[in-house]
Amino acid sequence: MNRPVDLSLTRRSALARAAGLGLSVSFLGRAAFAAGDGDLARRKLVVIVCRGGMDGLSVSPPVGDPDYAGLRKTIAIAPFDAPNGALKLDDTFGLHPSLKAVHRLALAGQARICPAVATPDRARSHFEAQDVLESGGSLVYGTPSGWLNRTLQALAPTRRVEALSVGVEAPLILRGPVHAASWSPGGLQGRDGRLPGILADLYAHDPLLGPALASGLQTQSMAKVASTLAMAQEQAETPGEAMDSMAAMTGKPAAANLGGNPQAVRAAGVTVAKFMTAENGPQIVAISVDNFDTHANQGAAQGLLANRLTYLDNLLDGLADGLGPDWNNTVVVAATEFGRTAHVNGTGGTDHGTASTALVLGGALKRRGIIGDWPTLQPAKLFESRDTAPTLDMRSLFKGVLVEHLGVERRTLDTAIFPDSASAAPATGVV
């Protein structure tokens, strides 16, 4: 691409994507590995927290399970051979018809499902369950920091590491002693006045504002680089599209944009990937995707949930594509705080449940079947007669990835990263 890129425009547009799309991204660990770590130095991990309780029975519908259609009725995903049917993975499981990119990756051995995974929490409260998912504790409020932050501490006890979150709010998963910087669209244009210096003096003994301002100013240049790279790729692939996403700058609530502009969501995934592949880019990234709380009218092949899954699919597609050769060094885990009831409820939706599906993706996954066991949906097998029963502890899944992909020691995992979790053995054979 030889066309010169107007920097102010590219920056605004790429930022606009993140702004209008209800997406917040967090980065951790710019220098988590030294060059001497060999292969490990190139490894990358992305954790996507799907908030609101993502319905596993729609993400990876077990259309081959004899009880599935009867439980789900109007919101059941149709069998493999029907129009708008599930995208086949094996005789039991398919993927939601909106998850086209994930299915393509799965057929290439680069995406797997973990269909009955749950955190140790059983209260069916969003807030408590998200807390347990992100803190890595065995119970709610067990630990005030996030497990990704503690992973970084464990990986690099003597090196200076940096953290960055994109989005105004800092998610629990990366809170902790390793200071997390953050960045989101908008904000400072050219910052070379006297004010930052004066404030830095006033904040010299302020433990909250001092570090926050310093790292906030540092992230500006990094954001500029990533946005420019993403814009360049985007313009090469879909000329004209970049301009359309300017509309997202107008500050519409995220919910208004659900699935509205798949290209812009995909471009957001590419932007994140360009952050990661930039020199000194982050190796550990956390992304939040909201709005999975489908109590009413969730739909089947189309509808509210399908729109959210289209969004997720485009984000993952953009990530995989934008990472390029580094896709082979990357593992992405998309997980949610809990699944939803096995039965459809009275308002065409589902209520808070227990186990759900996690998606695991990456260029170097092992080619095997589902991760964990399938408990089936037989009435006697349902957890408390209402939910998919958990067969795998969420911490086991995360620990398996940390052991096999990032080379974290088992003892550290059992005690520091996931406290008191020795009984939840790492799920092996994933990567």
- Rounded distance between C-alpha atoms, residue 182 and residue 169, angstroms: 8
For the bound state, the minimum distance from the C-beta of residue 301 to other proteins, rounded and expressed in Å, comes to 21
Among candidates 74, 103, 98, which has minimal Cα distance to 84? 98
Identify which of residues 240 and 253 has a Cβ nearer to other proteins in the complex: 253
For the bound state, the minimum distance from the C-beta of residue 53 to other proteins, rounded and expressed in Å, comes to 11
Q: Is 182 in the site for other proteins (CB under 8 A)?
A: yes
Q: Is 416 in the site for other proteins (CB under 8 A)?
A: no
Under DSSP, the state recorded for 424 is S
Concatenated DSSP letters of 88-118: ESSSS-EE-TT-HHHHHHHHTT-EEEEEEEE
Residues in the chain: 431
Per CB under 8 A, the list member of 214, 247, 416, 425 interacting with other proteins is 214
For the bound state, the minimum distance from the C-beta of residue 364 to other proteins, rounded and expressed in Å, comes to 33
Q: Is 70 in the site for other proteins (CB under 8 A)?
A: no
Tell me the residue ranges of DSSP E strands in 169-255: 180-183
Identify which of residues 108 and 188 has a Cβ nearer to other proteins in the complex: 188
Q: Is 352 in the site for other proteins (CB under 8 A)?
A: yes
Helices (H), 238-381: 241-244, 262-277, 304-323
Q: Is 251 in the site for other proteins (CB under 8 A)?
A: yes
Pairing state of beta strands 284-289 and 44-50? Answer: parallel
Which residue carries 């830095």 as its tokens? 200
Per CB under 8 A, the list member of 202, 236, 243, 422 interacting with other proteins is 202
Q: Which of residues 2-61 bind other proteins (CB under 8 A)?
A: 51-52
- In terms of Cβ atoms closer than 10 Å to its own Cβ (0-12, 13-18, 19+), residue 375 is middle
Q: Is 422 in the site for other proteins (CB under 8 A)?
A: no
Among candidates 271, 239, 263, which has minimal Cα distance to 18? 271
Which residue carries 């459809």 as its tokens? 344
For the bound state, the minimum distance from the C-beta of residue 121 to other proteins, rounded and expressed in Å, comes to 10
Contact present, 362 and 104 (Cβ < 8 Å)? no
Among candidates 337, 334, 284, which has minimal Cα distance to 136? 337
Per CB under 8 A, the list member of 79, 85, 142, 196 interacting with other proteins is 196
Identify which of residues 157 and 253 has a Cβ nearer to other proteins in the complex: 253
Q: Is 246 in the site for other proteins (CB under 8 A)?
A: no
Q: Is 177 in the site for other proteins (CB under 8 A)?
A: no
Site of interaction with other proteins (CB under 8 A):
51-52, 123-128, 140, 165-170, 175, 180-188, 193-196, 198-199, 201-203, 206, 208-209, 211-217, 219-220, 251, 253-256, 290, 295-296, 345-347, 349, 351-352, 384, 386
